[in-house]
A and B are shown apart, each in its own frame.
Chain A
Amino acid sequence: MNNDAILITGSGVISAAGASVSETLQSFSRGERNAGPVTLFRTGLDKPAFEVRNIPQTALLEGQRTLSLTLIALDEALKEARLSDCSGFRVGVCMGTTVASQLNDLDFYKSYRETGAAPLTSVDRFLKGNLAEVIARRLGARGPQLTVVNACSSGTDAIGIALSWLKAGLCDIAIAGGADELNHVPYCGFNSLGIMNPGLCAPFDRDRKGLNLGEGAGIVVLETAGAAKKRGASSDVFLLGYGSSSDAYHLTAPSPEGIGLKAAIKAALDEASISASDIAFVNAHGTGTHDNDLVEGTVLSQMFGPELVMLSTKGFTGHTLGAAGGLEAAFTAAGLREGWVPASAGFSIRDEAIPIAPVSKKTEVHGRFALSTSLAFGGNNAALVFGREGKA
């Protein structure tokens, strides 16, 4: 890697698949799919979801589940990066989310509409719950702060923006990723769109029937080579490129030609100064909806060839919305480092309409570069390229 490379010195994750990177990899390896009925709120719907179970009570902040998940992942990422003291560095924080950015507390609103008054506790939590701001204040970080609310690509975009900041010299170290809780409002919303699976999701499968929602947080610590050297930190995994592009097509459907996705991937590859043939595997967005998987699979096949090693980890985590890009960035970096990717959970029957199929078993990967993609509501697309030091 060249001197401009941005090191990934720490990763932290929490999802239904596990409460740390190592726990998650073990869960992936065993092929566990920890979905079940929704228990976090009362609902008239019966679609399964990937909830995070067994969060220690001490880690749960009342009414701030997204923030609680964030801080758990943050703790792991900082420990791996051995970043306990930000003094002497400009540390930026860029986080993606959907739920944490919306004042959508049903009890608050119900009270207001029925009586014309409501306790402002939930409003205060919302106003003090901007993810980037909370992290920055906890750490005493003095660099730029930003919370990205770009729907399902928020986490990927947040990491990409952090890359821009580091390259622009706005900070030396950046904490970036995404987080979202399983929330009643998007649960009803996604169901209204008719894209929730009544069973378990099956990304890229011929008989896929939609997505399962999940929750979690994924955070990476990024730093310039100079900052890492100064701290005595090192890493063999790097963030090399980012691309983002909209389809300008439709609010809820991807462009059939995948125009924005192609542009985002191309931009990420160009920034990384590599070609498509250098990519060892792709951690795809792969939600399990008909349209997403058809468009994404077609684009990946066109750009990387039908033999590409490709998977979706949403069969293990569900679609975690703003967290997805953060989680999948950490999984992609781990895949490069570990030299294997898990089976694309839920996939069993090839869809002849999609000219590529995901891996159906744990698969060794060889190579130095990998790609993670996100497609979002609103037609946004984002891609990140990761690299690993060493021989191909």
Chain B
Amino acid sequence: MIVAGIGILFAEGCGVDSLDQALQKGWQPPSPVDAPRAAGNKRLAYQVNFDSVPDKSLLKKIRRADKLSKMAVVAASGALADSGITDIAGKRPAIILATAFGAHVTTFGFLDDILNYGDTAVSPTTFSNSVHNAAASYIASSLDIKAATMTVTQFRFSFFAALQLAQAWLDQKRCDYALVGAVDQYGDVLGYVSGEKLAAAPDGKIKPFVLNPTVHVPGEGAAFFLLSREKAGKAYCSIDAVQIGEEGTRAEKADLNIIAADGMLADESRYASWLSSATPTAAYAPLYGTTMTGSAISVAAGALTLQKQMLYASPVLDNPRGLHLLDATKMTDIDSLCCLDCNCYGEKAAVYLGRT
């Protein structure tokens, strides 16, 4: 399948151009965010700011939606606009939204309602927005897409599973396009949980090649891809294969590996066993933070790499293991790359992208 358009919203901005600029600019520090119950009342995190969204009309249209849904709608809409394909609603697009934690911030807001006001006086609007598929529904209604609209979750591999499903649906002609993406949100409770379970990066820097011990900085964002069977739109690249939980040797055949190491696991050494010294490796989590579905942003970076034939240096290069890193931004001539992710069981998921 072909990546016809990309929409993205993350801490560094909105849209593919923002991603390109962030990749060229390199590491930027995260921001202190309010954490009323944490020591010092602040935590470091990479958070989305809607000021970066150039056209606010869509946000106005979904003003009652929560932040998760707004991020998803902006990214999904961005993917359609980026593709340049018009009248997508009439072209049988399916929506597949992947999320690890869904609307947890709104869910905790609903729990606040229950705790504050009792069972009988909770807000129906908050409840509506807390339902997992609210974000996908907002995408469908705001973009007027009357087609299969799916929300799926598989924690670390949510986005990969969504891509796998999109491939099957496109092959079976259940849809002509698939609008596939991932979205996850930072929240105070999640910040507390990750702070308890994972080591925080004292300087705000995720060091994706250290692998053990790891450090993390919570992040959030959304990345959507308009996928087609045939070459269409901007045709960034092809998605040649999606492999989940299987060992394979294809990683050695790619011209570049992009790993999603982000400090979500205390020990991410497993990545090293999948990498070849012959192939350079990049990692971009230091730009967007630690998030279960961050691979979607890595895949967007990979698609941009292939389309522009531009290798983007990894933003943080601490490399105690002597891995073969992509350490300089430069023009290139490559045909394929592999985006790798690792779950808490040490299993692998991979997306193979090819030049169109």
A-side residues, CB < 8 A to B, are 43-45, 98, 101-104, 106, 109-110, 112-113, 116-118, 120, 123, 127, 130, 132-133, 142, 144-151, 157, 161, 164-165, 167-168, 170, 184-194, 244-252, 259-260, 263, 267, 376-380
Contacts and interface: CB of A to CB of B under 8 A. Distances in A.
Interface in B145-178: 145-155, 157, 161, 164-165, 167-169, 171-172, 174
B152 A378 contact: no
Nearest to B116: A113
Given A106-B115, A149-B152, A170 B107 contact: no
A94 B112 CA distance: 32
B27 interface: no
Given A103-B101, A192-B122, A378-B149, A185 B115 contact: no
A149 B102 contact: yes
A109 B95 contact: no
Interface size class of chain B, counting residues whose CB lies under 8 Å from the partner chain = 35 or more
Contacts of A123: 193
6 contacts: A110-B115, A132-B154, A145-B161, A149-B152, A189-B124, A251-B128
B152 A43 contact: no
A147 B146 contact: no
A104 B107 contact: yes
Contacts of A44: 118-120
Nearest to B246: A142
A244 B148 contact: yes
A145 B102 contact: no
Contact of B244 (A45, A144, A168, A192): A144
B115 A113 contact: yes
Contact of B133 (A104, A116, A150, A170): A150
Contact of A379 (B110, B124, B137, B196): B137
B50 interface: no
A378 B136 contact: yes
A387 to B, nearest CB: 19
B133 A167 contact: no
A184 B114 contact: yes
Interface of A is mostly: mixed
Given A116-B37, A149-B132, A380-B137, 4 more contacts: A98-B132, A113-B37, A187-B119, A189-B110
B119 to A, nearest CB: 4
Contacts of A191: 119-120, 122
Given A102-B132, A185-B110, A251-B138, A193 B115 contact: no
B146 A157 contact: no
Contact of A148 (B137, B140, B151, B167): B151
B131 A98 contact: yes
A157 B123 CA distance: 28
Contacts of B141: 246, 248-251, 379
Interface centre among A145, A187, A194 (most CB of B within 10 A): A145
Contact of A151 (B108, B115, B133, B193): B133
Given A113-B37, A130-B155, A378-B133, A246 B168 contact: no
Contact of B152 (A147, A189, A248): A147
B122 A120 contact: no
B137 A251 contact: yes
Given A44-B118, A44-B120, A149 B133 contact: yes
Contacts of A187: 119
Contacts of B165: 146, 161, 164
A260 to B, nearest CB: 6
B171 A168 contact: yes
Contact of B137 (A103, A142, A168, A246): A246
A55 B315 CA distance: 54
Contacts of B123: 192
Interface in B294-342: none
Given A130-B155, A133-B154, A170-B164, A189 B134 contact: no
Contacts of A185: 107, 110-111, 114
B102 A116 contact: no
Contacts of B114: 106, 184-185, 188
A113 B244 CA distance: 38
Contact of B124 (A112, A127, A193, A263): A193
B153 A147 contact: yes
Contacts of B137: 246, 251, 377-380
B302 to A, nearest CB: 22
Contacts of B115: 106, 109-110, 113
